[in-house]
Structure 1
Amino acid sequence: MESIQYVEKIRKFNRSYANVLGKIDQQIYNQAFSLTEARVITEIHHGNGCTATEVREKLGIDRGYMSRMLQRFEDENIILKKQSSEDKRQYALFLTKDGENIYEDLVEHARRGVDNMIKPLSKNDLSRLVAAMETIESVYSKECSSASEVLIRPFQSGDAGYVAHLHGRIYDKTYKFGQIFEYYVMKGLADFMIDPEGGELWVAEVNGGIVGSIAITKSSDTVAQLRWFILDESFQGRGIGKKLIETALSFCREKNYAHVFLWTVSTLESARYIYRKYNFKLTEEKPNDEWSATKLIEERWDLDLH
C-alpha cells in the first residue's frame, strides 16, 4: 500500500505526542482536574449555554464518562444546568462563579506550565515548533470544514419561498404555531421583495442545502429591523446562528444605522440567548393570541449600534 509510509509516520508522531499530552496533564493542570476535565470546563466557559451533547461531540468524549463528569461538576458547584423550555431532554450548561474561578486558575496554570516547557528551546526551535503546530491545525481544519461546508449568502430567486417554508415547517412542528403565522411570514417577505431598499435577506447553506435565514429591513433612515432569523434545530450548536447575526449587524453598520430592533416571542429561548449575547435589551412585551392556541408573549429587543 503506497500510503503505508505516511500511516506509520503519523502513528509514530501520535505515540510521541501522547507522551507530551501526558506531561501536560501531569505538570500543567492541577491535580484536581485531568486534561479532559479541564477541556470540558474550558468549552463550557467559551460556549456559555452550550449543551452536554455539543461538548461531548466536539471533544469526542464517551457518553457515560461525560455524564459522570458533569454530575461531579454539578455536585461541586462548578456548573449550573438549566433545562431548555424547547426540549426538556436538553440542558444548557453554565459555569458558576466558583467554576469561573476554577477556569481562570486553569488558564494561569496552563500559561505557566507551557512557559516552563518551552524555556529550554531556542528561538529557532520554538519558531519551528509553532509553525508545525499551525500547519497541523490548518490542514486538519480544512479536512473538517470540507465535510460540512457552511455558506452565508444573500438570497437568490426562489430562496424567499423556501424561507417561508422553513418558518412554517419548524414553527408548526416545534412550537405548534398555526397557518396564520406562515401567512404573516409570507406577507412580510412579499412586501420586502417589492421594496428591499435599505435591507437584505441572507440564507445559511450547509453542503448546498438551506438551513436558516436572517434579514434586515429598513424602518427609518437611522433604524433597522432584524427579521426572519431562523435555524433548523438539527444544525444548532455549529456557530451558524452566530454567523447569521454577525452578518446582519455588520450590514447595519455598513449602512450607518444607529439602532436595530426585532420582535420575537418569549418561548424562543435559543434565539433570546443569542440576542442577549449580542447586547440586545428587552424593551417591550405584548400578548399574542393569533399564532398559537396557547397565548404567547411577543417581545421587542433593541440594540444601539453606536
Structure 2
Amino acid sequence: MKSINHIEKIRKFNRYYANVLGKIDQDIYNQSFTLTEARVMTEIYYIDGCTATEVSEKLGIDRGYLSRIVQRFEDEKIIIKKQSIDDKRQYALYLTEYGTEIFKDLVENANRGVDKMIQNLSEKELIRLVVSMETIESIYSKEHSFHSEVFVRPFQPGDVGYVAYLHGRLYDKTYKFGRMFEYYVMKGLTEFMIDTEGGELWVAEVHGEIVGSIAITKSSNTSAQLRWFVLNENYQGKGIGKKLMETAINFCEERNYTHVFLWTVSTLETARYLYNKYNFRLTEEKPNKEWTGTTLIEERWDLFLTDENSKI
C-alpha cells in the first residue's frame, strides 16, 4: 500500500471536492437536471451519435441508471435514438434541436455560476487553481494520449534559464545563429524577470520535460509584445505551438490589450505560418547582421484584437 499519509490527503481532498460538486449541482445547473444528467447531455452533444454503452464507460455511470436518464431524455424530446447500421443492438444518441437549446442554457448557467465562484480570486490564485486542475487531469487521465500529456503553465524559478537554453540550442543547431543571439535572449529574459507587470511567461511540458515557451510583455496600456516563442524541434507539428499561441492571445484579451506585435526573421517559416494563421500581419522589415554573420531580414508582425477577424 502507498504511504498512508498520501492516501489520507487524497481522501480528504475527495471529501472536500465532493462538496464543491454538490454546490455546482445545486447552484449552477438548472434545477430540473442533476449534474450527472448534465454530464450525459454534454457527452451526447460533443460526441454526436455516441451509444449509451460508450457514455456509460466514459463517465463511469451504472448502465441501469444511465438507461433511466436516456429514457427520460427521449420522453422529453431532448434526444432521439437511431439504430446503428453496424450493430442492430446498439442505438446512436443525438440531441434534438430542443435538446441543443437546453444544453446551451446549461452551459450559460454553468459559466455564470463558475464566474461567481471565482470572482474573489486574484489572477495569480486563479492561475494556480487552473494549473492544479490541469495537473490532476493530466496525471489521472486514463487516456494517456500525447495531447493529454501536454501541459502549459506559467514559469517557475529555474525555468527561465532553460528557456534561454532552448533558444540557444535550437537557433544554433537549426539556423546557425551565434552566441550574440543567445545573449540577446538572456538579456531580455533577465529584464523581464525584474519587472513582469502586465506580462507572463509560459512553458510547455511533455511528461515533465520543458519543450517550449511563449511570453507576453507589456508595451503600453493597450499594446503588448509576444516574445520568446520557441519549441523543441522534436515536438513540432504536434499542436503544442498552437496551444502556446492561444494561451498568449487569451491572456492579452483578458488584460484588454487591443494590439499585439512581435519580431521574427524571414527564415522561420513554421513560426511565420502560425503567426499568419492567427491573423498577425507583416508590417515592417529590416536587415540584421548580428547573429549569423550574414544578413537576415527581421520582420515585425502586428495583430489588432479589436478587428472582427482577429480570432480563429
Q: TM-score, normalised by structure 1?
A: 0.55
Shift of residue 168, structure 1, vs aligned partner: 0.5
Shifted more, 141-150 versus 180-189: the winner is 141-150
- Residue 151 of structure 2 is aligned to residue 151 of structure 1: yes
Shift of residue 127, structure 1, vs aligned partner: 2.0
Shift of residue 126, structure 1, vs aligned partner: 2.5
Amino acid in the other structure paired with 1:232: N
Q: Which residue of structure 1 aligns with residue 93 of structure 2?
A: 127
| Cα 1:154–1:147 shift into 2, 3 Å | closer
CA distance in 1, matches of 2:154, 2:217: 13
Alignment of structure 1 residues 1-306 onto 2, 5 Å = 125-127=91-93, 142-145=142-145, 149-306=149-306
Q: Is the 8 Å Cα contact of residues 148 and 207 (structure 1) preserved in structure 2?
A: no
Helix, strand or coil for the counterpart of 1:145? coil
CA distance in 2, matches of 1:241, 1:146: 14
Helix, strand or coil for the counterpart of 2:143? helix
| Cα 1:162–1:222 shift into 2, 3 Å | same
CA distance in 2, matches of 1:270, 1:194: 31
CA distance in 2, matches of 1:149, 1:127: 30
**After superposition, what is the alpha-carbon deviation per residue over 1:176-223, rounded to whole angstroms, capped at 9, x for unaligned?**
001000000000000000000000000000000000000000000000
Coordinate RMSD, CA, aligned: 2.5
| Cα 1:127–1:168 shift into 2, 3 Å | same
CA distance in 2, matches of 1:233, 1:146: 16
CA distance in 1, matches of 2:196, 2:303: 22
**After superposition, what is the alpha-carbon deviation per residue over 1:140-162, rounded to whole angstroms, capped at 9, x for unaligned?**
x9434279711000000010111
Q: Which residue of structure 2 aligns with residue 52 of structure 1?
A: none
Q: Is the 8 Å Cα contact of residues 224 and 260 (structure 2) preserved in structure 1?
A: yes
Helix, strand or coil for the counterpart of 1:126? strand
CA distance in 2, matches of 1:267, 1:142: 41
Shift of residue 237, structure 1, vs aligned partner: 1.2
**After superposition, what is the alpha-carbon deviation per residue over 1:28-80, rounded to whole angstroms, capped at 9, x for unaligned?**
xxxxxxxxxxxxxxxxxxxxxxxxxxxxxxxxxxxxxxxxxxxxxxxxxxxxx
Q: Which runs of 5+ in 2 are unaligned?
A: 1-81, 95-140, 307-312
| Cα 1:143–1:121 shift into 2, 3 Å | closer
Helix, strand or coil for the counterpart of 1:238? coil
- Highest RCO, 1 vs 2 (Cα 8 Å, sep ≥ 6): 1
| Cα 1:185–1:147 shift into 2, 3 Å | closer
CA distance in 1, matches of 2:86, 2:214: 51
CA distance in 2, matches of 1:158, 1:182: 17
Helix, strand or coil for the counterpart of 1:285? strand
CA distance in 1, matches of 2:146, 2:211: 17
CA distance in 2, matches of 1:267, 1:184: 18
Q: Is the 8 Å Cα contact of residues 84 and 91 (structure 2) preserved in structure 1?
A: no
